[in-house]
């Protein structure tokens, strides 16, 4: 009599092994993490605020600069929209002894630096547009890995503190981007490459400190684009609170970038400032904005926790941001511009201090928060891809170098963003 040997048990299905950290992240890791955030956004936002506009002005006739800047900025934001979720998924599934996040932090930071070098030396608008698209793609590969590394390294009880620190670093990067233009002037090569070099150095410092563990099990292949699309999707009919929060964020970011993209040109055209004077005024305006934003955000977050209310703060902040945007319509002096920047800083400070808490409160599945936050990131990236094109269309519709229609529409969009939080039921 023969017996059939028992079959081995089938291999268990693959699951992404992401044990939540239980111990506080080490101070050195948190410090370099914050510095990496500062460096990435300094390298990325200096072109957004100044150097890209200056480069475009060097290449195209003055009558075409608004349309050209809108086209280049829109392509870059489209790259951000596409690259962030895709590279986030790739990072999750990366194998190798260097870990999941380190390779993409390095590749992304190096690619961003090289892309900015190409823009700085480009002689045609087409090269600038392609290089900015690639720069944004690489930058968002790094940003996706960076955001995931925060979830990997920081336990739940420490995330509020670390998230607040990272938020401060991002706003300091905005300030640094504005002052880079003031310090470096119109020296285009320096204006692109100095922030890029600082960003690369700070990211590499974080890579050295990051205890990024390799995947213990190789992920299965397959799924393709359909898997990516299914991964980054939340049913709005099943989770309406999440959908309304998404809509509110989308509107506020859209309004913000409708103006931010053209801030330097606004100062040159509406206030009649020279290039050097416009850069200096913009830097001071962003300083005013930041000095109001940081304490407003800290106070709003504290009050929101104490009162256990989110919606009223988010709605109020969106309305205040809309008021600040509307103030710019009647602004024809540097003092008026600074006053509007202070109101904008108050509005976005309160918004930044509370909106993330609202998002976390309405996540569909706390056990799957990384995926859902990946979906929510579209509300940050998508408006940036369409805001420059919409802004350029509105400016040109108003006759060219006129910004009242752009600012009026942006203010109205803020009001819609404020109203979008009213239907949310899960959170007060």
* Domain boundaries of the chain, sorted by first residue: 25-215, 236-428
Q: Which pair of tokens denotes residue 336?
A: 């008026």
Tell me how crowded residue 287 is: count the other CB atoms within 10 A of its CB: 18
| Structure confidence at residue 322 (pLDDT) | 92
To which residue do tokens 């393709």 refer? 224
Angstrom distance (rounded) from CA 48 to CA 384: 11
By the 8 A CB rule, do 414 and 245 touch? no
The answer to whether 25-215 and 236-428 have equal CATH topology is: yes
CB 43 within 8 A of CB 193: no
pLDDT of residue 40: 93
CA angle 413, 396, 338 (to 5 degrees): 55
Reduce the DSSP state of residue 274 to 3 states and report it: coil
Structure-block tokens of residue 314? 């988010």
Task: Tell me which residue has tokens 């229609």.
Answer: 405
Name the phi and psi angles at 176, rounded to 5: -65, -35
H helices present in 50-155, as ranges: 52-59, 65-92, 102-121, 125-153
Cα 162 from Cα 150, distance rounded (Å): 9
What is the DSSP secondary structure assignment for residue 329, as one 8-state letter? Answer: G
CA 201 to chain centre: 20
> Residue 139 has what pLDDT?
92
pLDDT of amino acid 84: 76
CA 71 to CA 53: how far, in whole Å?
12
Give me the pLDDT at residue 11, please: 38
Superfamily (CATH) of domain 25-215: MFS general substrate transporter like domains (1.20.1250.20)
On whether the CB atoms of residues 211 and 29 are closer than 8 A, the answer is: yes
Compute CA distances 424 → 165, 233, 254, 300, 349, whole Å.
Answer: 28, 19, 21, 19, 22
Q: Which residues fall within 8 angstroms of residue 295, CB to CB, at 6 or more apart?
A: 349
- H/E/C letters for each residue in 150-214? HHHHCCHHHHHHHHHHHHHHHHHHHHHHHHHHHHHCCCHHHHHHHHHHHHHHHHHHHHHHCCCCC
Report H helices in 261-333. 263-269, 275-307, 311-327
- Cα dihedral sign for 420, 423, 424, 428? positive
pLDDT for 92 = 75
Q: How far apart are CA 247 and CA 376, in angstroms?
A: 10
pLDDT value, residue 106: 95
Nearest to 365, CA basis, from 268, 235, 263: 235
Q: What is the pTM of this model?
A: 0.71
Using a 10 angstrom Cβ sphere, with 0-12 exposed, 13-18 middle and 19 or more buried, the burial of residue 8 is: exposed
| Per-residue pLDDT of the chain in tens (428 residues, 90 and over written 9) | 344 444 333 433 334 445 556 677 788 888 999 899 999 999 988 887 778 888 888 888 877 787 888 888 878 878 887 887 778 778 877 887 888 889 999 999 999 999 999 999 998 999 999 999 999 999 988 988 887 787 778 775 665 566 667 767 877 887 888 778 777 766 888 889 999 999 999 999 999 999 888 877 666 655 555 665 665 666 778 888 888 888 888 998 899 888 887 888 889 888 888 888 888 898 889 889 888 988 887 787 778 777 777 888 888 889 999 999 999 998 889 999 999 999 999 998 888 777 766 776 776 765 445 556 666 777 777 787 778 788 888 988 877 778 889 999 999 999 998 898 888 887 77
Structure confidence at residue 224 (pLDDT): 56
Query: What gap in Å lies between CA 119 and CA 121, rounded to an integer?
Result: 5
Encoded tokens for 138 = 């690489």
Burial 108-133 (b: 16+ CB within 10 A, else e): bbebbbebbbbbbebeebeebbbbbb
Q: Which CATH architecture has domain 236-428?
A: Up-down Bundle (1.20)
The DSSP code sequence of 62-85 is GGGHHHHHHHHHHHHHHHHHHHHH
- pLDDT score recorded for residue 13: 39
């Amino acid at each position: 009599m023969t017996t059939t040997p028992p079959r081995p048990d089938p291999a268990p299905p693959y699951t992404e092994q992401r044990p939540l950290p239980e111990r506080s992240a080490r101070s050195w890791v948190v410090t370099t993490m914050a510095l990496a955030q500062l460096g990435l956004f300094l390298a990325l936002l200096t072109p957004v605020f100044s150097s890209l506009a200056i480069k475009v002005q060097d290449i195209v006739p003055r009558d075409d600069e608004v349309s050209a800047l809108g086209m280049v900025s829109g392509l870059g934001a489209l790259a951000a929209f596409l690259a962030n979720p895709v590279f986030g998924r790739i990072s999750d599934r990366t194998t190798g002894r260097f870990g999941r996040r380190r390779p993409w932090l390095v590749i992304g930071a190096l690619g961003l630096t090289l892309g900015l070098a190409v823009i700085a030396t480009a002689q045609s608008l087409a090269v600038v547009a392609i290089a900015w698209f690639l720069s944004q793609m690489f930058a968002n590969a790094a940003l996706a890995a960076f955001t995931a590394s925060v979830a990997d390294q920081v336990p739940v009880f420490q995330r509020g503190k670390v998230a607040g620190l990272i938020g401060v670093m991002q706003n300091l990067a905005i300030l640094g981007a504005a002052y880079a233009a003031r310090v470096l002037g119109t020296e285009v090569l320096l204006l692109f490459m100095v922030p890029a070099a600082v960003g690369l150095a700070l990211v590499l410092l974080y890579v050295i400190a990051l205890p990024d563990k390799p995947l213990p099990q190789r992920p299965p292949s397959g799924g393709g684009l359909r898997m990516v699309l299914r991964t980054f999707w939340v049913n709005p009919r099943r989770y309406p609170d999440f959908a309304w929060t998404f809509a509110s964020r989308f509107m506020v970011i859209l309004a913000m970038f409708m103006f931010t993209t053209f801030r330097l040109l606004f100062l040159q055209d509406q206030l009649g400032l020279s290039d050097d004077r416009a850069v200096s005024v913009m830097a001071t305006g962003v300083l005013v904005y930041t000095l109001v934003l940081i304490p407003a955000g800290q106070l709003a977050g504290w009050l929101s926790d104490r009162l256990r209310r989110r919606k009223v703060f988010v709605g109020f902040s969106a309305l205040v941001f809309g008021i600040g945007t509307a103030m710019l319509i009647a602004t024809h002096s540097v003092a008026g511009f600074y006053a509007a920047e202070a109101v904008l800083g108050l509005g976005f400070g309160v918004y930044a201090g509370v909106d993330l808490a609202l998002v976390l409160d309405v996540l569909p599945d706390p056990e799957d928060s990384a995926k859902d936050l990946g979906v929510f990131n579209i509300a940050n990236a998508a408006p940036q891809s369409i805001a420059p094109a919409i802004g350029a269309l509105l400016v040109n519709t108003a006759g060219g170098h006129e910004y009242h229609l752009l600012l009026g529409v942006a203010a109205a969009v803020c009001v819609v963003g404020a109203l979008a939080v009213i239907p949310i039921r899960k959170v007060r």
